[in-house]
Structure 1
């Protein structure tokens, strides 16, 4: 009886706490998305509403609800994205270059052209994402690149392939920066890397799946009078279009409008996101909402932020090797003396292992609330791997070096984009800043697509040496960022200890975003 009375008392308390927010769920289905946003904003803006108002809610259950509805679809979208941009490497060793009469330079230009348009459209895409809604924007660009990929299977010459790769870059540009930013609108700073890693691990799974798929599709050579490499593009493009059509009905926009959450849960998620990132040592009243100004001042603030540009060098440190591996791995392995089908299959264990390590690192990073140590460790192991590749002609040692490097590359991407998102406050500045980081950072793909020249086979010394150079630059840039963040955090801690934050209004601290003295950079 005592247990029952205690349970009833807890239930009554929960209902009382919930009623404080005046959120009624029985009429929720009748509300428009705009009305849901207004309801949430009005609830969390009240001065008497604090985190204690939501203490009866189970955050783990709420996060699980979000995970189950967001992460599987996002992972599938990115898997197909990486599969479609990288399958040209598999098509090459199935006869693409021979059938189209491509020289080594022309093939590399087809790889490079993709990145010019891919990088150019990433920032504009992120700026439009919130306005055009993720549930519409992301599937739409996916349909576009699926159509381009399908048509790539019927190109007849170098110029046709080049044009297709240019348009593929335009269509795919919005997905990765859009999804990375989209995740930050659902998860707090020290929850997001695991989610970023799960969907990014799709890139390494795509590498494994691409090899297996290409191996299977290669047996369709001659079906319908088409070469096997053409079927790689056609079938994978059609799959992308089909998944994109289903994504229109499976993607959600933002927490404030999520139909699978109760009104109170929506308010809770929005509240904790709004006050995420301020110094935990300061008073609750100082944890002002992150600004969300959508003006050119915010855009200029992102373009002039020193940390973004230093971080881009860190980004280059692993993205050059990432694209070098994803675009040329089948060719590099084949040049070690393996048959084409064997080379396709030998890519699989590399990518599967990399996927597992990526997720394991993310769990550790979120638990420890650290990013930079894992980035530095990844860059160091990449360095070791490429040194092994460049220092010997032994096929076994070279394969081992590629294995080590690839397994170290993939954990760096979610670690670094999460590091950047953690250190940009204000959702609009974060959208622009991450767009800059990823778009300029992905120019590394344009460079890396020319690292491995056919006349350098089978050792590819120049390609490996260039990768080593970029990795070294990334290590130096990461070290600079760490020292800078530590210095700024120390100064801000002293300022808060001296109560200097009392000289600012909550609105002023909000406008300052990550420049506010109550904000702490993540290391």
Structure 2
């Protein structure tokens, strides 16, 4: 398809020429900006609630172990030593093992079938958790839960990348991380309400927490099966004009998409790409903080001397504030087409929050509670924008699928660490876990900085290429994000 310059087109950091923003002007590929804005509103109106509900359900069912532990589960199951931490760790054993396969297979097995099926199976596991009697049964339930939840984030992030352009993805991927934040708020609220059922039917309140949330997940899985389209061609909420516009948007990026069918060389391209491993490093460090917060926040707050009910309620404003902050920063990141400029301030603010947690005496509850409001938003900004940055930095569907799978696999290995560093509090604080989290967020910031300089150097090299060099690179088979016209988000 012939390409020329269109000075009226909106610049795109993924495909810009050296002196001006490169777009495709061919009449068949013209995108009406007003129609495109209407299309994006329609996509957001439909997909945002669906994505939010799916991931909210996943995180509620994953993180409610912290609420249950603070409400008596540890004593009722006679957990000793670090058995609770071991249970948290075991969740990630199968979780990290199946993320890459799930991300590669979701297209073949269809998102509409695969995602609800995974939800249904983990819901059954959650219901069964409400009836367990021993630590061994708790271990088994966490292993199975990790298996069925393993593909959720990479599948959903990859799914969103098939509907949205790279410059639109930060806000949309934020749906998933906002869901994780809201799960903390709703988790505390649900726990507060459900724990009042203590003794109903001869079951403790924490058991009802698992049973009710599991039953709700079964219902949601059935609804998702009927609501989730496989792709924009089968989306009932789009009309034919919308689909034509989606086809044009897809065609504009076609030269970066690579072969439409699975090829092992796309996997090799991903695993031999340095920028993937830098991203994985940063994700691992960020997830140490993220999992520590989502799993142990109720216990951290309770260690300050708050009662069980007060602890559940105090988690709610933290997560609501984190969700709102992250949505705003994601919107700004898309608006200004910048990633690291928003991630590094998040690193600094989070580090300050951890420093306060470690340095302030435990009796100063107000200051310690305030510090959590610094930690939570920064964590979601760091890990959320890092995932978006990775999606923007890999092209070719299966290269991107492999990259997001590996990113989440290695990042979620942090769960194996978190369960071992947040152990018994010393003088009212989980000092070991908080100290390691502080170091992790700073090391993650180093990774973000390194990736920024790497991608900037690649963009500069491509800007300096002559027309002949670009033509030769294309003849040599440079496609995807290795295409000479591809520009990495910074």
Give the TM-score normalised by the residue count of structure 1.
Answer: 0.86
* Aligned mate of 1:515, from 472, 482, 485: 482
Q: How does 1:38-49 map to 2 (within 5 A)?
A: none
Find the structure with the greater CA-based Rg.
1
Q: How does 1:61-460 map to 2 (within 5 A)?
A: 61-276=38-253, 289-393=257-361, 394-456=364-426, 458-460=428-430
C-alpha displacement at 1:302, in angstroms?
1.3
- Aligned partners of 2:297 and 2:425: how far apart in 1? 16
Q: How does 1:469-488 map to 2 (within 5 A)?
A: 469-488=439-458
- 8 Å CA contact retained: 1:183, 1:195: yes
- Aligned partners of 2:375 and 2:421: how far apart in 1? 16
Q: State the match for 1:501 in structure 2.
A: 470
- 8 Å CA contact retained: 2:474, 2:483: no
- Aligned partners of 1:56 and 1:326: how far apart in 2? 40
Give the TM-score normalised by the residue count of structure 2.
Answer: 0.91
Number of corresponding residues: 465
Of residues 260-269 and 293-302 in structure 1, the stretch that sits farther from structure 2 once superposed is: 260-269
- Aligned partners of 1:162 and 1:212: how far apart in 2? 26
Matched, 1:50 2:28: yes
Q: State the match for 2:22 in structure 1.
A: none
Tell me the alpha carbon deviations over residues 198-222 of structure 1, each in whole angstroms, 9 at most, x when there is no partner: 2320111110110111011111000
The residue matched to 2:420 in structure 1 has which SS?
Answer: coil
C-alpha displacement at 1:264, in angstroms?
4.2
Tell me the alpha carbon deviations over residues 300-345 of structure 1, each in whole angstroms, 9 at most, x when there is no partner: 1111111111111111232111111111111111110111111111
C-alpha displacement at 1:273, in angstroms?
3.0
- 8 Å CA contact retained: 1:292, 1:429: no
Q: State the match for 1:41 in structure 2.
A: none
- Aligned partners of 1:113 and 1:289: how far apart in 2? 37
- Aligned partners of 1:488 and 1:215: how far apart in 2? 52
C-alpha displacement at 1:102, in angstroms?
0.3
- 8 Å CA contact retained: 1:83, 1:207: yes
Q: State the match for 1:490 in structure 2.
A: 460
- Aligned partners of 1:431 and 1:246: how far apart in 2? 26
- Aligned partners of 2:234 and 2:309: how far apart in 1? 48
- 8 Å CA contact retained: 1:275, 1:289: no
- Aligned partners of 2:461 and 2:377: how far apart in 1? 37
- 8 Å CA contact retained: 2:29, 2:252: no
Matched, 1:463 2:447: no
- Aligned partners of 1:272 and 1:178: how far apart in 2? 21
- Aligned partners of 2:137 and 2:33: how far apart in 1? 60
The residue matched to 1:437 in structure 2 has which SS?
Answer: helix
C-alpha displacement at 1:69, in angstroms?
2.1
The residue matched to 1:62 in structure 2 has which SS?
Answer: helix
- Aligned partners of 1:344 and 1:116: how far apart in 2? 28
- Aligned partners of 1:120 and 1:289: how far apart in 2? 27
- 8 Å CA contact retained: 1:256, 1:267: no
The residue matched to 1:456 in structure 2 has which SS?
Answer: coil
Tell me the alpha carbon deviations over residues 368-399 of structure 1, each in whole angstroms, 9 at most, x when there is no partner: 01111111111111111001111122322222
- Aligned partners of 1:392 and 1:323: how far apart in 2? 23
C-alpha displacement at 1:446, in angstroms?
1.6
C-alpha displacement at 1:293, in angstroms?
4.3
The residue matched to 1:58 in structure 2 has which SS?
Answer: helix
The residue matched to 2:166 in structure 1 has which SS?
Answer: coil
Tell me the alpha carbon deviations over residues 141-195 of structure 1, each in whole angstroms, 9 at most, x when there is no partner: 0001111001000001000000000000001111111101100000001111111
- 8 Å CA contact retained: 2:425, 2:431: no
Unaligned runs of 5+ in 1: 1-46, 278-286
Unaligned runs of 5+ in 2: 1-24
Tell me the alpha carbon deviations over residues 87-111 of structure 1, each in whole angstroms, 9 at most, x when there is no partner: 0000001110000000131110100
C-alpha displacement at 1:275, in angstroms?
2.9
Of residues 469-478 and 227-236 in structure 1, the stretch that sits farther from structure 2 once superposed is: 469-478
Root-mean-square deviation (Å): 1.9
- Aligned partners of 2:380 and 2:473: how far apart in 1? 42
- 8 Å CA contact retained: 1:89, 1:327: yes
The residue matched to 1:473 in structure 2 has which SS?
Answer: helix
- Aligned partners of 2:106 and 2:260: how far apart in 1? 14
The residue matched to 2:489 in structure 1 has which SS?
Answer: coil
Q: Closer, same or farther in 2 for the Cα pair 1:388/1:288, shift >3 Å?
A: closer
The residue matched to 1:454 in structure 2 has which SS?
Answer: coil
